[in-house]
Amino acid sequence: MKTIKFIFPCLFIIAFFAPSPTFACRCTDTIPVFQSYLQASVVYVGKVVAVIDSAHHKEIVFEVYQNIKHIYNTKVILHVGHTSCDWHFKKDSTYLVYANKDKHGTLTTNLCTRTKLFSEAKNELKELHSHDMMDCKVLLPVEPSEKCTEKYEPVCGCDGQTYGNPCIAHSNGVNHWIWGECRNLK
């Protein structure tokens, strides 16, 4: 009887203080490429240049190589680490990123998006560039949210023209670009 009186409190203590179960990230069916493009706030190809740990999340700093949707800066900061479904980005690796802005304007992504290593994204990039909605230029030039600087960081627009920086390309209505002067690209 003493054994039973001892076992029940021990079981209670073990059950109460045992770590709670964790659940693996579950994603519904993978969304098709173009639908993912439409749903994302931004899409770009970039290399991770820094991973900054904070108490609640990680800031992943990307050097953007190619704007596919709504990126107009040379650097982008992405927040991850909020959930078990977050990507684990590696410094010096290049990715195709589909990200969304939260209510504070912070960019986030997770394992349920089509974000992937660039080396695994070649066919996806071909598909993205084949869609009619990815027109090179918008019908009317768009005003960027900030005034463009004169800093020379050349990009080759999808129209074959070199622009002084991504902001200037965007203000000329160019939707997509790659870093570098057009004449230096193969």
| Amino acid identity at 109 | T
Based on the fold, state whether residues 47 and 66 are members of the same structural domain.
yes
Based on the fold, state whether residues 114 and 23 are members of the same structural domain.
yes
d(CA 162, CA 160): 7
Residue ending a domain, among 98, 114, 132, is 132
Task: Determine the pLDDT at residue 162.
Answer: 94
Task: Determine the pLDDT at residue 97.
Answer: 96
The predicted-structure confidence for 35-83, as pLDDT tens digits, reads as follows 888 889 999 999 999 999 988 889 999 999 888 888 777 899 999 987 7
What does residue 174 show for φ and ψ, rounded to 5 degrees? -80, 120
The parent domain of residue 110 ranges over 17-132
pLDDT at 12 over 50: no
pLDDT tier, 185 (very low <50, low <70, confident <90, very high otherwise): low
Based on the fold, state whether residues 79 and 171 are members of the same structural domain.
no
pLDDT at 11 over 50: no
Based on the fold, state whether residues 94 and 148 are members of the same structural domain.
no
Domain count of the fold of the chain: 2
Task: Return the closest-CA partner of residue 132 out of 27, 8, 38, 22.
Answer: 38
Higher local confidence (pLDDT), 29 or 4: 29
3-state secondary structure string across 67-94: EEECCCCCEEEEEECCCCCCCCCCCCCE
pLDDT tier, 131 (very low <50, low <70, confident <90, very high otherwise): low
Q: Is the pTM for the entire model greater than 0.85?
A: no
The predicted-structure confidence for 73-89, as pLDDT tens digits, reads as follows 789 999 998 777 888 89
Task: Determine the pLDDT at residue 178.
Answer: 84
